[in-house]
Amino acid sequence: MWRRTYLLLLLVRVYLALCPSYIHPDENFQGPELFAGKPYSFSPLSLHQSQLIKPVPGRLFSFPSHLTWEFTSDTPIRSIFPLWLVYGLPMTLLKWLWAETGSDIPNPPPQLVYHVLRLTMFLLSLILEDWAIHELVPNPRRRRQAVVLVASCYVTWTYQTHTFSNSLETLLVLWSLVLIQRVVENKCLISLTSTYHLYTYIYIYILTTDRPLSLISLAFFGLLFSFFAIAIDTAFYTLPDSLSAFIRNPTITPLNNLLYNSDSSNLASHGLHPRYNHLLVNLPLLLGPAYLVSIWSLFTRGMVSPTFHTRNTRAYSALFGALIISLFPHQEARFLLPCVPLLLTCFKPPRSRTFLAGWIVFNCTLGALMGIYHQGGVVPAQIHIPTLLSDSLQPSQQPPVNVSVLWWKTYSPPYWLVGDGSNTAAFSITTHDLKGMASGEFINRTVSSIPRCTRDSNPFEFYQGLPKVKVEGGDMTLLVAPRSASFLDRFVVPDGGEDESADVPSREIRLHKLWQYDRHVNMDDFDPGDDGLWGAVERVFGRHGLVIWLVTRPC
């Protein structure tokens, strides 16, 4: 029975791995964006043509991409070494295989690269995470329970199949415990993780008993690994021209990361949370009924709770790590991803239909939200924009059209997914991320991006029997925004293109719908303070979807 359940859950995991939900911008900008291609920089509030910046080693394709401050500051805080192994290596292999096809297009399609990376994360989760659980749980009956419990958790379906550095940390923590368990064979209590990553070093603690040689061996190989990682990072960030330059100015990203996160003024720009946010908000959000039942059992039965087994290395590692990172005031749920499989392997589900129903409803609801709908239109829209332009513009358009694509009230789009434009010379695309800009400022910026006004409210004309966009002056502006942004309703022109409303002259812009993706929910726009609870639910979920608009400015 458990095998059939596991196989069913495996199908759910692979389906959600291929769904284009977008949980957090870091899953792109701290991974694939780094290796995708040539970077370009611009001020998001200035809609001038972006300028290329100096080449960065390790870039694999010629896609446009945007490097965030973590990689461009004088003291970078992200290590390249694990990112290259997980993202750079599959992208390199794909590049080689694509070259062997003899295609005239120099780079593989961005959507192919995207799905290869998602499948890579799925396979890493399937093989390394599930295998580690088999190794860590000695009792066969408890092992089967733990494997199914972890496989049925929405965190495994979604976060672990996305390109998060925190997902990699989860695998590093699990396999560090596995390897140390093999080394010490219960003679020495050691929980040591591979330390060269974002928050992974926080999970280190050592309680030795009678195996000092094991500790010396682990320390030696840990130092050797760290030296190798420092060499890779230094070569990537500073390009030292000699060994002496490397020794004088090494790049130690974990140290930079620790120093950065130790300063509350730095964390304030990301958002500050109370110290209890991880324990009272984020862990319940990740574990749901399992967390509530465990807390109740520990509260009523103490350390001998039959529901949650605390006297093992897995529980010590998870609880210790959660407590330590709770000292940092910036707290996001994904920082606790390494705790999830460890805590679930310590949890014994009660034989209760109420718990089973609650567990299923919780994970199906969060799995659908985070795995399918959460910012689910951003990736498909960015991938579809070149095709949309090819279909909307006349093939003989001269000169090439400069297309400004404005993104408003969405997560920052992955720049590289728009492609390099090597298969068309009819247009060039510049992406502008307006984030959650206030409505008034958004209108001003949008108007300034449209150099010419038009008297005709219908921007379409027929070419060989198909509707095409009329382009004047070689410039075109698109807007990508969620349907839940009700502020835009006043500017929308009916699908026919003709707008006979009396208030047309007072409108600053006109919006003509070109494309829509329905499986998109913008939770950042959920504001019960302005709309009331039911009004916010109705607007965000009732008006789900992401739309690409053609923007024109009336004269």
Q: Where are the domains of the chain?
A: 2-373, 378-552
Q: Name residue, tokens 């990682």.
A: 229
SS3 content of the chain, % helix, strand, coil (to 5): 55, 10, 35
Question: What count of Cα atoms within 13 Å lies in the side-chain half-sphere of residue 464?
Answer: 6
C-alpha distances in Å from residue 503, one per residue of 460, 508, 511 = 21, 11, 14
Rounded Cα–Cα distance for residues 436 and 418 (Å):
21
CA 224 from chain centre, in angstroms, equals: 31
C-alpha distances in Å from residue 523, one per residue of 101, 375, 520 = 42, 8, 10
What's the burial of 466, exposed, middle or buried (CB within 10 Å: 0-12/13-18/19+)? exposed
Reported pTM: 0.88
Per-residue model confidence as pLDDT tens for the chain (555 residues): 788 999 999 999 999 999 999 999 999 999 899 888 765 443 333 333 333 344 455 578 888 888 888 888 888 988 888 898 899 999 999 999 998 888 888 889 999 999 999 999 999 999 999 999 999 998 888 899 999 999 999 999 999 999 999 999 999 999 988 887 777 655 444 444 444 444 444 444 444 444 566 666 667 777 888 888 888 888 888 877 777 777 888 889 888 888 888 887 877 778 888 999 999 999 999 999 999 988 887 777 766 666 777 778 888 889 888 998 898 888 999 999 999 999 999 998 888 899 999 999 999 999 999 999 999 999 999 999 999 988 888 766 566 888 999 999 999 999 999 988 766 667 889 999 999 899 999 999 999 888 888 777 778 776 665 677 877 777 889 999 999 999 999 999 886 555 555 445 467 899 999 999 999 999 988 878 777 888 888 889 999 999 999 999 887
Residues 6+ positions from 112 with CB-CB distance below 8 Å: 94
Q: What are phi and psi of 150, to 5 degrees?
A: -65, -40
The amino acid present at 349, given as its one-letter code, is: P
Rounded Cα–Cα distance for residues 317 and 190 (Å):
10
C-alpha distances in Å from residue 229, one per residue of 225, 235, 253, 316 = 6, 10, 9, 28
Q: Name residue, tokens 């434009």.
A: 421
Rounded Cα–Cα distance for residues 236 and 57 (Å):
6
The amino acid present at 224, given as its one-letter code, is: L
Rounded Cα–Cα distance for residues 450 and 475 (Å):
8
Lateral strand order in the sheet of 546-552:
427-433, 401-407, 475-482, 546-552, 510-517
Evaluate whether 337 touches 155 at the Cβ level (below 8 Å): yes
Looking at residue 406, what is its pLDDT? 96
Looking at residue 170, what is its pLDDT? 94
Q: Is the dihedral of CA 456, 502, 442, 372 positive or negative?
A: negative
Residues 6+ positions from 243 with CB-CB distance below 8 Å: none
Looking at residue 524, what is its pLDDT? 86
Evaluate whether 156 touches 125 at the Cβ level (below 8 Å): yes
H/E/C letters for each residue in 484-509? CCHHHHHHECCCCCCCCCCCHHHCCC
The amino acid present at 219, given as its one-letter code, is: A
Residues 6+ positions from 331 with CB-CB distance below 8 Å: 273, 277, 278, 282, 325
